[in-house]
Chain A
Amino acid sequence: MTFELNRQLAARREPLATTAEVDAVTASIIRGGMETICFEAATYLGRAASSAIINQSNERNAAIVDAHGRLAAGAIGTPHLTFVTGMTVRYGLMRQEDYNWGPGDVFLGNDPDAGGGHLPDYNIYAPVYDDAGELIMIQCLQAHQGDTGGKDPGGFTLEATDIFTEGMAFPCLKLVHRGELREDVFDLVVRNNRFPTIAGDLAAMIGGVQHAVRLLEELVARRGAEAVKAAINYNIEHTEARVREVVAAWPDGTYEADVFIDHDTVGRAKDIRVHVACTVAGDQLTVDLTGTDDRPDLVGVWNTFGNSRSYIMTQVVAAMDPGIVKNEGFFNAVEMIIPEGTIAHPPPNKPAALGSFHPACEITEAVCIALSAIVPERSAPQVYKMGMPNSVIGFDDAGRMWMDQGVDSRTCDTSAVQGIDGWGTCPVSLGNLLLSQVEDAEGRFPVLNISREMTQDSEGAGRWRGQPGSLNVKQVLEPATAMAWMVTAEHPLRGMCGGDDASPYANHFKVGTPEEHKVELSANEVLPAGSVIAYQYGGGAGFESALARDPEAVREDVLDEIISIERARERYGVVFTGSVEAFDLAVDAGATAARRDELAAQAGAS
């Protein structure tokens, strides 16, 4: 890998060569067909896979990339994966002659230095050709695997200083040649992965992609290759035009934001900075990460170039009409400057696993803060500031790895947006990730779940408030390893337009024993059987000043025990008569007005 390779991978691609023209309606019909096929592939995988990360948490994504490597269609899973898929495929496309691409082939790519995100995100993809043998597009199916064969089970190593510590990287590996499974290659991949169901999950991914390829071949045969190519071109151009139209309506100017990570994965370096400048000039939006941290000895906080582009785009699309079709047109319309050597564009061989959490999320958050000056009504950060998943890993009597994957966070980072309080468990772009359940997990893993409730007074206050955080308490019944990386004590998720920041995350291990301790920086500990861990998830941030919140909405929150009477008074300036217990709580209008004046004066004085 080189920076030069990344420049080539990210370069703007030409439209597909075709003599055909299609009208708007035909183009959208063909696109709809392609999106539906993505849905079919992802559904197939979700049903056949046995990794809980795929089938419970739904962390999988289907997309179609055209023969030039442009994102053509797809929209299931998460935007964070959708927008990185194409880069891995672009690397494969560059090598298609070397690797003897042909009909019936299926490939695997996950290499962070060859366009990928982090190693666990296996991208399985397969080319689609027309009858004349011309490559038209590539079907991709991406899913997070439970292991990558590196130093630590699960693929996350806090102290990793290179990618080799984290496991096997596959730039572009052919798993199926002309319809025949390459069993030696398949077995090699399986052998280098601790996850006991990896063979079945890989088979399910290959099956899902092959199923989609058959449908795409039918689509090409029915519509004609030229019409399909013309439709892809049309849709990408249409999206670019729509995005430029939105940007043109925004006020010209440069909007900047800084977001910090408390410290790197080993706790040595502090206040790691992400800087974003979003510049609007006419119909051109430029997102520039110049000024982002580039200290070469930082550990763990390196986000791959492909991921950085994706995490920028995730927030850019959130700021626009959700009806704009998601494809390469966004990348064509938005210029990104991601300086080489920064934590958003690391030099070769840096570890990648934890960078997909931080600084990836800080990049997204910074874009949100910058754009909140332009589109406050669509400014809610699409992030997860959790450090890393609260996974618990062990081995059964037969030596097989198990992982309670920790995607059981209840409420976190669910910020308010203008007019709507934060709700649900996570930002909307993660709304396809289903949380695991006690009754599925406890029969499978030696873990007792004790509590998952929302925490009173942990909402980011605001005229519209964030959803409170939640306390997740569980007990391991067998010895297990738990890892943690805490990142929000100093720099929690930021409020928007004068709203309060979210409450920070906090994590306690061995709760209720003499060895109980709070994880200050990071931890990788073997917990004896019976240990309790208590993970306080941060809440969502607020929007605009808490003193502007409708007192009746505050009253509702008090009745629902989301906030206490004391906090209502101290933070929202709302004073009540009556009590929660008697259900006769009422807003004392006079006292509330006085209290709000008092708080406003204090705020002004400070």
Chain B
Amino acid sequence: MTYRVGIDIGGTFTDFALLKGEEVVLYKNLSTPEDRSEGVMQGLAKLAEMEGLALADFMGACDAIVHGTTIADNTLIEMNGALTGLITTEGFRDEMEYRRGYKENIWDVRLAPPRQITPRRRRLTVPERILFDGSVHKPLDEDAVRAACRRLAAQGVESVAVSLLFSFVNPAHEQRVLEIAAQELPGVHLSASHQVLPRAPEYDRTSTTVVNAYVGPRVTSYLERLSSRVREAGYKKQLMVMQASGGVMSVDYIEGAPVRVLASGPAGGVIGSAHTGVAKGHDNLLCVDMGGTSYDIAMVLDGAAPAVAGWNMHHRYLVGVPMVQVETLGAGGGSICRVNRGEVEVGPASAGSDPGPICYGRGGTQPTITDALLMLGILSADAEFAGGSFSLTRDGVDAAFAAMGEAMGYSAEDAAFDCWRVVNANMTQGVRRITAGKGVDPKDTCMLAYGGNGPAFAAKQAEELGIERVLVPKASPTFSALGTLIANPSIDEERSYLVPAEQADPERLTALWRELAQRAAGYFTGAGFDAGAVEANYQLNMRYPGQNWVLTFSVQVAQGLNDLSFVAADIGQRAIAAFNARHMAEYGHIREDEMPEITGVRLATAVATKAPPIGKGFTAAAREAQPAGTRRANLGEGFGDTRVYRGADLQPGDEVPGPAIIEESFTTIVVSPGWRAFVDDAGDYELRCEDAA
């Protein structure tokens, strides 16, 4: 028997998903914030015990241990990363502070700046200049580099980012700065922009490199500690780590660009969603994860969660590496409801989990969405909550909403209902913004809802967006851990090459793709994979001259990394035809008089690994399920006696007509009026709008 273990560390729990053969075992224990590797080792010991094996035997039988970590995100949230310096081109000292002029709220003259990772005293410049074609306009002043290093050393920097203009075209100067810095600053973590994000423009690349430098030492030391602990315990392979791109890769690779683990936690959940949704026959999914503080939205299109590189503003810092696009709104169960000058407002402030909503009975005094759900009868003080760990209380809840109602001139229940409407509208608009950015009509998708609160709102959300089907998997609370098992080892990198498409040099394209292929082959081999098993997706980034956004599309998909024979003399013409077709599909017009340009080549590589099987289908005999009881509730159309079902009672084939409430162990599913829930062969739920044909 070989095992694969997926591990996701959250704020409260560390989740484990163990794949053995066709079976998935889920387990969770408490996280250990002091040293997170401790909680991981405790959980692994527990899994070994559950398998009846000594830890060393269990670890030796593990084919892969895959890990998702929030350590980089926490570093940016808490702003406690390395003391970081920046060396950049003379004349361009202040780009990090300029942020390309971007300010998050154009209406608020009191908007405060983000804290600077590299204040001006640690942003130093050196004379040198490379031009857009890679030629050297001004040679590197090596004495100035040494002087800059000494100035940084005097300030005690722990990490240095190097970002010089056009280094993505010609990295020679950056490489030399690295060499000098390694001599002058022994023990200091170094990040070079041509390695972290080899693409234009300079702010995007520099910012990504600076963030990499800032989080790098913490991420690296954590992963090294964990790696050595699992190795000592008997694990023989490389630890694999989840990336924001939705793929996993070996620690060796991640240590070269730690910034790639930022935002990897939610990405794991999206990968889990994609796998589940596609297995059940839905290629286009709108994934919504509503937890205690936030509402995370992501799209799965054609079965994949596309990772986008570029303008990813993450905790107010631009991080340009490919990220599965997860948009976060401040709308969760803990979101605080209030009346502000005659308007009901919800969030983004959250009561969190401590003290939490009033109904948690832990001292919370401000009404939240969870409290509103209790007022509406969607949740009940008589039912178990959060897997039975505690029960909700109505104490103080009515009074809080009565106060809101008084300010608005209506009843407490009306106030709770308006909070429900407002948070629904916030979420709907958030979804539309995401889909707009991708040119997708939400109507063409199936919604997949997870997180503690997602399923309570899903049907209503779907209705507002014109979506006719909603999936609610039973395993949704552990999606992130499951996602790390599902995610394939992958490397997605690009190289810049700016050229009119008709002048594209096949040899240059071949050389760039070969460089990427060789890098990928090295890392895959090092992680124990057969390079011949790597699936390679050769892509081009293109645009019309002047466009700021590129369209990325595939020109060749191949097994293995050696065959570049597809790059023939006609590659430019093929690229133009493919680009124009994409542009027409995306924007409804092509520019016949303009020659599109290639801006870069990209190579997305992945190795298919064994993923947990997902049950599907509706072969069990259909029958109308029997409710466990009724309670007074308002599911959007006024209060009435509403059927309540216990998830544990439901079997494949069961149908639940709306309006109804299904109480699952970690979540509550609302079946809206006009909707019907079906339990599939795997025990997962599908909600269907009955008005739809």
| Residue A452 CB within 8 A of the other chain | yes
Q: Mark A447-464, 1 if CB is under 8 A from B, else 0.
A: 011111110000000000
Q: Are A450 and B101 in contact (CB under 8 A)?
A: no
Which of A32, A199, A437, A559 contacts B591, CB < 8 Å?
A: A199
* CB-contacts of A550-575 with B (<8 A): 559-562
Q: Smallest Cβ distance from B203 to chain A, in angstroms?
A: 6
Residues of B within 8 A of A33 (CB): 428-429, 432
Q: Report how far A39 CA is from B108 CA in the complex, Å.
A: 19
Q: Smallest Cβ distance from B593 to chain A, in angstroms?
A: 7
Q: Mark A355-382, 1 if CB is under 8 A from B, else 0.
A: 0000000000000000000000111101
Number of A-B residue pairs having CB atoms within 8 Å of each other in the complex: 220
Residues of A within 8 A of B109 (CB): 318, 322, 378-380, 382, 417, 427-429
| Residue B544 CB within 8 A of the other chain | yes
| Residue A14 CB within 8 A of the other chain | no
Q: Report how far A213 CA is from B130 CA in the complex, Å.
A: 47
Residues of B within 8 A of A443 (CB): 132, 498
| Residue B421 CB within 8 A of the other chain | yes
Residues of A within 8 A of B107 (CB): 75, 79, 317-318, 322, 326, 428-429
Q: Are B94 and A49 in contact (CB under 8 A)?
A: no
Known: A439-B132, A442-B132, A561-B120. Is A424-B98 also a contact (CB below 8 A)?
yes
Residues of A within 8 A of B112 (CB): 420, 423
Q: Smallest Cβ distance from A245 to chain B, in angstroms?
A: 8
**Which candidate, A23-31, A290-298, A483-491, A590-598, is the interface stretch facing chain B?**
A23-31
**Which candidate, B11-19, B523-531, B545-553, is the interface stretch facing chain A?**
B545-553
Q: Smallest Cβ distance from B444 to chain A, in angstroms?
A: 14
Residues of B within 8 A of A40 (CB): 432-433, 436
For the residues of A in contact with B, the DSSP-based class is mixed
Q: Are B588 and A322 in contact (CB under 8 A)?
A: no
Q: Are B92 and A453 in contact (CB under 8 A)?
A: yes
| Residue A44 CB within 8 A of the other chain | yes
CB nearest to A449 among chain B residues: B91
| Residue B137 CB within 8 A of the other chain | yes
| Residue B186 CB within 8 A of the other chain | no
Known: A430-B101, A438-B92, A583-B155. Is A43-B587 also a contact (CB below 8 A)?
no
Q: Are B429 and A32 in contact (CB under 8 A)?
A: yes
On chain A, which size bracket covers the interface? 35 or more
Q: Are A28 and B200 in contact (CB under 8 A)?
A: no
Known: A452-B92, A453-B93, A454-B94. Is A439-B201 also a contact (CB below 8 A)?
yes
Residue of A49, A55, A322, A439 ringed by the most chain B CB atoms within 10 A = A439
Residues of B within 8 A of A378 (CB): 109-110
Q: Report how far A203 CA is from B586 CA in the complex, Å.
A: 13
Which of B99, B166, B436 contacts A43, CB < 8 Å?
A: B436
| Residue A139 CB within 8 A of the other chain | no
Residues of A within 8 A of B408 (CB): 24
| Residue A51 CB within 8 A of the other chain | yes
CB nearest to A202 among chain B residues: B589
Known: A50-B545, A78-B106. Is A428-B111 also a contact (CB below 8 A)?
yes
Q: Are A50 and B546 in contact (CB under 8 A)?
A: yes
Q: Are A43 and B343 in contact (CB under 8 A)?
A: no
Q: Are A438 and B165 in contact (CB under 8 A)?
A: yes
Q: Are A322 and B105 in contact (CB under 8 A)?
A: yes
Q: Report how far A452 CA is from B544 CA in the complex, Å.
A: 28
Q: Mark A394-428, 1 if CB is under 8 A from B, else 0.
A: 00000000000000001100000101100111111
| Residue B121 CB within 8 A of the other chain | yes
| Residue A433 CB within 8 A of the other chain | yes
* CB-contacts of B646-692 with A (<8 A): none
Q: Are B421 and A25 in contact (CB under 8 A)?
A: yes
Q: Are B119 and A560 in contact (CB under 8 A)?
A: yes
Q: Report how far A46 CA is from B586 CA in the complex, Å.
A: 13
Q: Are A52 and B548 in contact (CB under 8 A)?
A: yes
* CB-contacts of B71-96 with A (<8 A): 90-95
Q: Mark B168-187, 1 if CB is under 8 A from A, else 0.
A: 10000000000000000000
Q: Report how far A561 CA is from B98 CA in the complex, Å.
A: 16
CB nearest to A203 among chain B residues: B589
Q: Smallest Cβ distance from A31 to chain B, in angstroms?
A: 10
Q: Are B432 and A444 in contact (CB under 8 A)?
A: no
Q: Smallest Cβ distance from A237 to chain B, in angstroms?
A: 11
Q: Report how far A300 CA is from B162 CA in the complex, Å.
A: 46
Q: Report how far A426 CA is from B547 CA in the complex, Å.
A: 24
Q: Are B100 and A435 in contact (CB under 8 A)?
A: yes
Q: Smallest Cβ distance from B485 to chain A, in angstroms?
A: 35
Q: Are B106 and A430 in contact (CB under 8 A)?
A: yes
Which of A326, A433, A473, A562 contacts B101, CB < 8 Å?
A: A433
CB nearest to A50 among chain B residues: B546
Q: Report how far A245 CA is from B343 CA in the complex, Å.
A: 15
Residues of A within 8 A of B132 (CB): 439, 442-443
Q: Report how far A279 CA is from B653 CA in the complex, Å.
A: 72
Which of B120, B154, B588 contacts A207, CB < 8 Å?
A: B588
Q: Are B544 and A200 in contact (CB under 8 A)?
A: yes
Q: Report how far A442 CA is from B133 CA in the complex, Å.
A: 10
Q: Report how far A115 CA is from B418 CA in the complex, Å.
A: 40
| Residue B342 CB within 8 A of the other chain | yes
Residues of B within 8 A of A200 (CB): 544, 589, 591, 594
Q: Are B433 and A36 in contact (CB under 8 A)?
A: yes
Q: Smallest Cβ distance from B517 to chain A, in angstroms?
A: 25
Q: Mark B410-442, 1 if CB is under 8 A from A, else 0.
A: 000000001001100110110011001101000
Q: Mark A155-185, 1 if CB is under 8 A from B, else 0.
A: 0000000000000000000000000000000
| Residue B406 CB within 8 A of the other chain | no
Q: Report how far A378 CA is from B111 CA in the complex, Å.
A: 10
Q: Are A438 and B101 in contact (CB under 8 A)?
A: no
Q: Are B110 and A25 in contact (CB under 8 A)?
A: no
Q: Are A36 and B436 in contact (CB under 8 A)?
A: yes
| Residue B104 CB within 8 A of the other chain | yes
Residues of A within 8 A of B108 (CB): 322, 428
Q: Are B589 and A204 in contact (CB under 8 A)?
A: yes
Q: Smallest Cβ distance from A260 to chain B, in angstroms?
A: 23
Q: Report how far A424 CA is from B109 CA in the complex, Å.
A: 12
Residue of A29, A207, A419 ringed by the most chain B CB atoms within 10 A = A29
Residues of B within 8 A of A32 (CB): 425-426, 429
CB nearest to A77 among chain B residues: B106
CB nearest to A434 among chain B residues: B100
CB nearest to B439 among chain A residues: A44
Q: Are A440 and B201 in contact (CB under 8 A)?
A: yes
CB nearest to B547 among chain A residues: A50
Q: Smallest Cβ distance from A236 to chain B, in angstroms?
A: 14
Residue of B418, B546, B587 ringed by the most chain A CB atoms within 10 A = B546
Q: Mark A308-332, 1 if CB is under 8 A from B, else 0.
A: 0000000001100011001000000
Q: Report how far A434 CA is from B591 CA in the complex, Å.
A: 25
CB nearest to B99 among chain A residues: A424
| Residue B144 CB within 8 A of the other chain | no
Residues of A within 8 A of B315 (CB): none
Known: A32-B429, A382-B109, A452-B91. Is A25-B102 also a contact (CB below 8 A)?
no
Give me the interface of A with B, judged by CB distance under 8 Å. Answer: 24-25, 28-29, 32-33, 35-37, 39-40, 43-44, 46-52, 55-56, 75, 78-79, 196-197, 199-200, 203-204, 207, 238, 242, 245, 317-318, 322-323, 326, 377-380, 382, 410-411, 417, 419-420, 423-435, 437-440, 442-444, 448-454, 470, 473, 559-562, 582-583
Q: Which 4 residue pairs are nearest across A and B when measured between Cβ atoms? A: A431-B103, A50-B546, A451-B91, A437-B201
Starting from the known contacts A317-B107, A434-B101, A452-B92, 17 additional A-B residue pairs (CB-CB under 8 Å) come to A24-B343, A46-B549, A196-B594, A204-B589, A318-B109, A322-B109, A417-B109, A423-B97, A424-B101, A431-B103, A432-B102, A432-B103, A435-B98, A435-B101, A439-B168, A443-B132, A452-B94
A sample of 29 inter-chain contacts (CB < 8 A) reads A24-B344, A25-B422, A25-B425, A29-B421, A36-B429, A37-B432, A47-B586, A50-B543, A50-B546, A78-B106, A197-B594, A379-B109, A419-B110, A424-B97, A425-B100, A426-B101, A428-B105, A431-B102, A431-B111, A434-B100, A437-B200, A437-B203, A438-B92, A448-B137, A452-B92, A452-B94, A454-B93, A454-B97, A562-B120
